[in-house]
Amino acid sequence: MNSITAKAPSSTANLGPGFDVFGLALDAFYDTVTLTRQKNGISIITGDSIPVSPSKNTAGLVVQYMKKKFKIKSGIQIKIKKGVPAGFGMGSSAASAAATAIAFDRLFGLKLDGNTLVECAGVGERASAGSIHYDNVSASVLGGFVIVRTKPLDVLKVLPPSDLRLVVAVPKMVVPAKKTQVSRSVVPKQIALADSVVNLSNAAAIVAGFVSKDSELIGRSIQDIIVEPARAHLIPGFNSVKKNALRAGALGVTISGAGPSVISFATKKANLAKISSAMKKGFASAKTDCTVVICKPSGGAKTI
Ligand code: HSE
């Protein structure tokens, strides 16, 4: 085989109380990566405004890492087509990294297990996040709902309930170049034990909700009293977006990953169009336009 293409989904990280631990693949947007054998070196082709130097590009970092780890001598051309908006908390770099890891695995017949694919894709996060965290890449590689244990890395996947629906509002705003670093810098370094108990109880209930396929339990447990309050000021109109969505029937509302997108959890029974327009109005109250996407959980990265 000379060339292979893989696509990987967008994702939401944290789901409220699961900071750096929970991820959910979303069928809202996809990145596509084609890897082609070439004589020497690593080259990157893209029509999108992303770095083309391999050591500064998410996919480039993954290829560099996997070439070294698996002693692959061949040169590789990487063609990237971005579909996931970059810098908005939708797992954009993770999607490129996941598609690259899957394409590399198939191109060289490595037959890697899920944890190893996630570890390889996680290297790409360094390009955008500045630190490696595996919540988005795990979701994008494996699909569904994921729980990330670290030291050693151990990623657990649970299939989401079929009636779970998400409404994601992506605000039209200029995000800082190092957005994830900025939004991580405001997260408290120390927390009260009582707060950690509240978040832990909600996180545990979210897991129980996914395992028992109970979307209502998931939705009402999307409550974070530690990270969300610290980051809310970075998102224009966040409190109105959240309040409006809850009034319109969302079961739970929080920041998608490091933001600034906001995500509502609901079931297919809810009036999703009403939740969408409620979120839009919330952003409009802060003079901010947004794009709203109604979506479902997605499967993981795959070759096409
Ligand atoms: N868990 C990470 C954060 C996701 O919230 O900072 C960012 O990609």
User: Which tens digits make up the pLDDT trace of 13-25?
Assistant: 999 999 999 999 9
CATH topology for 3-159?
Answer: Ribosomal Protein S5; domain 2 (3.30.230)
Amino acid at 116: T
Residue range 171-191: mean pLDDT, rounded = 92
Question: 3-class SS at 30?
Answer: strand
The pTM is what? 0.96
Q: What is the CATH number of domain 164-295?
A: 3.30.70.890
Q: Are strands 302-303 and 42-46 parallel, antiparallel or unpaired?
A: unpaired
Give, using CA atoms, the residue closest to atom 5 of ligand 1.
258
Give the distance (Å) from ligand 1 centre to CA of residue 77: 29
Surface-to-core class of residue 131, CB atoms within 10 Å of its CB (0-12 exposed, 13-18 middle, 19+ buried):
exposed
Residue extent(s) of CATH 3.30.230.10 domains in the chain: 3-159
129 lines ligand 1 (CB under 6 A): yes
136 lines ligand 1 (CB under 6 A): yes
Residues 122, 111 contacting (CB under 8 angstroms) = no
| CA 84 remoteness from chain centre | 10
Residues 153, 141 contacting (CB under 8 angstroms) = no
Beta bridge partners of residue 31, listed in sequence order: 8
The helix or strand, by DSSP H or E, that contains position 185, with its residue range, turns out to be helix 179-185
Kindly report, residue by residue over 183-205, the tens digit of the pLDDT: 999 999 999 999 999 999 999 99
Residue extent(s) of CATH 3.30.70.890 domains in the chain: 164-295
